[in-house]
Structure 1
Amino acid sequence: MRNHLSLTARLSLMFSLTMLAIWGLVSMVLIQSLEQHFARQDEADLRGKMVLVKNLLATQLDNGQPDWARLESGLHSALAGYGDHRLQITTPQGRLLAGSQLFRPPATDVNAGPVIESWEENGIHYRSISAPFALPPRTSVSEMPDTVMIRVIFDTRYHQHFIHDIKNGLLWLTGGIALISILLGWMASRAGLKPLRSLARLSTQVTANKLDHRLPVSGAPVELHGPIHAFNNMLDRLEESFQRLTTFSSDIAHELRTPVNGLLLQTQVALSQIRSDHDYREALYANLEAAERLNRMINEMLFLAKSEQGQLAIQCQSLDLAEEVDELIEFFEPLASERQVRLQRLGHARLWGDRAMLQRAISNLLTNAIRYTPAHQEVSIRVNGNDSAVTVEVANPGSPIPPEEWPRLFDRFYRADHTRQQVTEGSGLGLAIAKAIVTSHGGTLSVHSDEQETCFTARFPLSGTE
């Protein structure tokens, strides 16, 4: 049931319980303080009455053998006006000599000093002080003891009624405080959560078509600044993802349209009239080339999908990057010669990684570099290793790429505008695949382009090296 309570109700309830707990603690301290105050007051009063009784008793016994009846009357007259006090004078054996009827026998030894006692009888709380009193020698006769016990008893009903009234008042006050605290808690919660409700209303305005909307931080409580920034950052990521998805959809439609249109056109031309076996064979070869391009594109997209899901099976081994790069240079030498581009490898290092995947990543970078290198220029593959990382740099001269386009070069099907018009070969997935492979090895792939060269740098941390 608690999970169904609103946040306002929960805060109100917590506020009310906190207020009641504090008030309950204050009430307990107040009651205990009153009881201790009355106890100390009663004790002081009883000690004072004991001194008074002893002084009066000593004064009246100076004339000889005591007359206990007359002595009792005189003592009660002396105690009159001091509240509901009762007096008992007994022998050490407990025989009443003067005063009120015996209550519970005192627990005082004749040789002990004054003793304060407290007990309850018939619903009434009593306090008493008991002390021995030595009779003057001339008052002692054979039938009289040398020492009597004096006991002054005080009825605390007045104090108990007062504390009882205080408790009843506090109980009623607690009920009132509970209602007031619930009301104040609800009002405070409503006022405190008003900015949150405003943010909730604003967040409902955010849709797939309005991802540029942001929640304002100004005017919001400090406690909500963190959630607002997190929400706005999430919207930034969503907007970027939607933009990339839109661009990707447009690019994939553009990339798939070319081979599909080629298939349709070649097939329509072949079927438009009766042709020779050679013409049909040429049409089938053209269709096969388009189908292979489609198949290659689909396989590359599946590879990227697996990399994003972390499903790439990496079989690592110790690799000599210089040997691997030299093997790739030998493989790409015919393509480079055709474009009148030279290939050069510099440096060496060892790396712990998947041979086939790393060759594929470097091949994609090398293909991209050869494609955009002007004739009679050189592509450099620089391999470096130190105590912290291994880097592979593929650099080529050519037209610089604007810095604002660098982050998007690794997006699927993305080509910079100035290159898209010049070059049509390739699927547009090479750099995305290269980055996925480098990332799967725990590394990073970055690009830097200026008037001198465009350089793609794959950096593998030491943890990914042998």
Structure 2
Amino acid sequence: MRRASLTLRLSMMFVCAVVAVLVVAGFTFDAFSRQHFKTLDRQALTEKLESIRQIMDGEAGSAESSEVVLQLQALLGAHQELSASITTKQGKTIFATPNAVQHPPAYSSDPKEDMWEWTVGGHMYRGMQAQVRLVNETEPLTAWLSLDITSHLHFVETLRWWLVIGLAISALVSAALGWLVARSGLKPVAQVTQVAASMSAGSLKERIPMEEVPRELESLVSSFNAMLSRLEESFVRLSNFSADIAHELRTPISNLRTHTEVILAKKRAPEVYEENLYSNLEDLNRLSSIIDGMLFLAKSDNGLVLPAKEKIELRAVVEKLFEYYQLLADDTGVKLQVSGRGAVYGDGTMLDRMVSNLLSNAIRHTPPCSVIHVRIEPGEGVVNLSVKNPGEDIPQQHLPRLFDRFYRVDPARREGKSINAGLGLAIVKSLAEAHYGTVGCASSEGFTTFRISLPAWES
């Protein structure tokens, strides 16, 4: 089942709100109208009963019976909707208007109401009664007044129908206005949808302008623009990464093909074939190194590199690696030194690889007869490991990109003549982030320092 659009939902909510308000207003107006007419009827009947009492007591005219009748006729005869009757205790009628109606006994015996309502012959009446005394008479009489309120009810009924018709018209108009208001208010959402639908690899630079965006949608549009920025950055990095991969793989594969074609061009001695195989093995090792590094980085990007949480003494890791790299360092007269101690949460194998990459990088770029110093310094909740080596300063514009994949400071070294594929520092960064750590580099005054910060072991 297809879901309703947001415009339709807002329109329906607007219509429901308007209809609810009109219904409450209609019921309230209807109740006030009925109460208003009832109050007017009570006031009219009370005033007439008081006038009848004054006439019967002789306060408003003559005390003669004939005069009393004439005064009552003058008081009540001019009102077509008003009828009256005066009866004795025995039920004898001593005065009645021509349009007098019969009063049901059930109403006359109810002492709790001062005004009653009943229906006779399709007409609705309201009535009141009072005890009166004729002058010079001791026996009390009962005066009944009835008011035909049928015209009032017809008016209220007509008013009610007009309210219903007005409610229906208002609902239709509100639906149209609600749709227009919702459609106009949701234009920024439609703009976001349009931009999202038009997104492609060549249009990631587009952004939604914030000037005309309502305050309620600022967070949504800002998040969407930030997402586009991240996508653009990721796409650029992916494109560069793909180009770098092709560039790095091209050289060893080209070497392998060229060597093989040359060797197969004519018959050669076994020693030549053996020399060519050794050369091919070097290129194959380089390809294997690149592929291994790419696979590891791909796993890291997808959160598949999960280090163990063990207590690792960094000094022991460094000293173990010193034993491995000492022969390589001795070839160039480079000395390796370590100072400080610190324990971290981590995976031993991954930490070995991280520090090994930094040491290999430092030995490769350190002048002969120099010293590479590894310093371990505990900090606030972290342990800092720095590898400092002398050498040519790295230009400042290159420092932020040192940990990018296949990135090399020296463009002349991008033709793949070295076994180094430019993935070592990128792997260091991935391993550090897998351990919830950070990496950084500083280079000035003839020294380059790579620093890693890892969470400290808390005993």
| Superposition TM-score, scaled by structure 2 size | 0.87
Counterpart of 2:82?
85
Give the distance between the partners of 1:427 and 1:333, measured in 2 at CA: 23
Identify the residue that residue 147 of structure 2 maps to in structure 1.
Answer: 154
1:143 matched residue in structure 2:
none
Partner Cα distance (1:109, 1:329) in 2: 117
Q: How does 1:61-210 map to 2 (within 5 A)?
A: 74-82=71-79, 84-90=81-87, 98-99=95-96, 100-105=100-105, 107=107, 115-120=114-119, 123-133=122-132, 139-140=137-138, 146-198=139-191, 200-201=193-194, 206-210=199-203
Choose the corresponding residue for 1:460, options 447, 450, 454. Answer: 454
> Taking structure 1 as reference, are residues 440 and 72 closer, same or farther at Cα in structure 2, changes over 3 Å only?
farther
CA contact (8 A) 2:390 2:446 kept: yes
1:221 Cα deviation after fit? 3.5
Q: Would the aligned equivalents of 2:286 and 2:419 in 1 still touch at CA under 8 Å?
A: no
Q: Which residue of 1 aligns with 2:440?
A: 446
For structure 1, which segment, 396-405 or 48-57, has the greater mean C-alpha deviation from structure 2 after superposition? 396-405
Deviations 1:237-287 (A, max 9, x none): 121111111111111111112222232233223323333333323322332
Taking the aligned partners of 1:360 and 1:101, their CA distance within structure 2 comes to 111
- Once the two structures are superposed, what CA deviation does each residue of 1:146-195 show, in whole Å capped at 9, x if it has no partner? 44433322222222122122222222222332333233333334433445
Q: How far, CA to CA, are the matches of 2:61 and 2:112 in structure 1?
A: 23
Separation in 2, partners of 1:356, 1:93: 119
Partner of residue 37, structure 1: 36
Show the counterpart of 2:430.
436
Report how far residue 354 of structure 1 moved. Answer: 0.8
Counterpart Cα distance in 2 of 1:26 and 1:257: 81
**CA distance in structure 2 between the partners assigned to 1:262 and 1:315 by the alignment:** 40
Matched, 1:256 2:252: no
1:427 to 412, 421, 426: 421
Q: Deviations over 1:407-441 (max 9, x none)?
A: 33222212224573698331211112112211112
* Identity level (%): 35
Q: How many residues align?
A: 455
Describe the shift of the 1:172–1:346 C-alpha distance in structure 2 as closer, same or farther (beyond 3 A).
Answer: same
After superposing the two structures, state which structure 1 stretch, 228-237 or 197-206, moved more. 197-206
Q: 1:337 to 1:24 in 2, by over 3 A?
A: same
Question: C-alpha separation between the residues in 2 aligned to 1:106 and 1:53?
Answer: 24
Q: Deviations over 1:377-433 (max 9, x none)?
A: 322222122342222222223333344433332222122245736983312111121
- Deviation per CA, 1:175-216: give whole Å up to 9, x if none: 332333233333334433445545555555543123223232
Asked if 1:297 is matched to 2:280, the reply is no
- Once residues 61 and 106 of structure 1 are traced to their aligned partners in structure 2, the CA distance between those partners, rounded to angstroms, is 33
Number of the residue aligned with 1:389 = 382
**Equivalent residues in 2 for 1:210-221, closer than 5 Å:** 210-221=203-214
Q: Determine the C-alpha separation between the residues in 1 that align with 2:412 and 2:55.
A: 123
Name the CA shift for 1:367/1:82 in 2 (closer, same or farther; >3 Å): farther
1:351 CA displacement: 1.2
- Range that drifts further, 42-51 or 307-316: 307-316
C-alpha distance in structure 2 between counterparts of 1:295 and 1:122, whole Å: 108
**Uncovered stretches (5+) of structure 1, i.e. residues with no partner:** 141-145
Of 314, 319, 323, the residue aligned with 2:312 is: 319
* TM-score with structure 1 setting the length: 0.85
Q: 8 Å contact 1:113–1:131 — kept in the other structure? A: no
Aligned to 2:281: 288
Secondary structure of the corresponding residue to residue 115 of structure 2: strand
Q: 195-204 or 122-131: which moved more?
A: 195-204
RMSD: 3.3
Question: Mean alpha-carbon deviation: is it higher for 242-251 or for 44-53?
Answer: 44-53
- What's the offset of the Cα at 1:316? 2.6
Q: Following the alignment from structure 2 to structure 1, what is the Cα–Cα distance between the partners of residues 390 and 293?
A: 28
Distance 1:340 1:155, change over 3 A: farther
Which of 373, 392, 395 is equivalent to 1:399?
A: 392
Residue 181 of structure 2 aligns to a residue whose secondary structure is helix
Q: Single out whichever of 409-418 and 50-59 deviates more from structure 2.
A: 409-418
**Native 8 Å contact 1:447 1:457 kept in 2:** yes
**Alpha-carbon deviation of 1:134?**
5.5
Contact 2:345 2:455 in 1 (8 A): no
In 1, Cα distance between equivalents of 2:451 and 2:91: 109
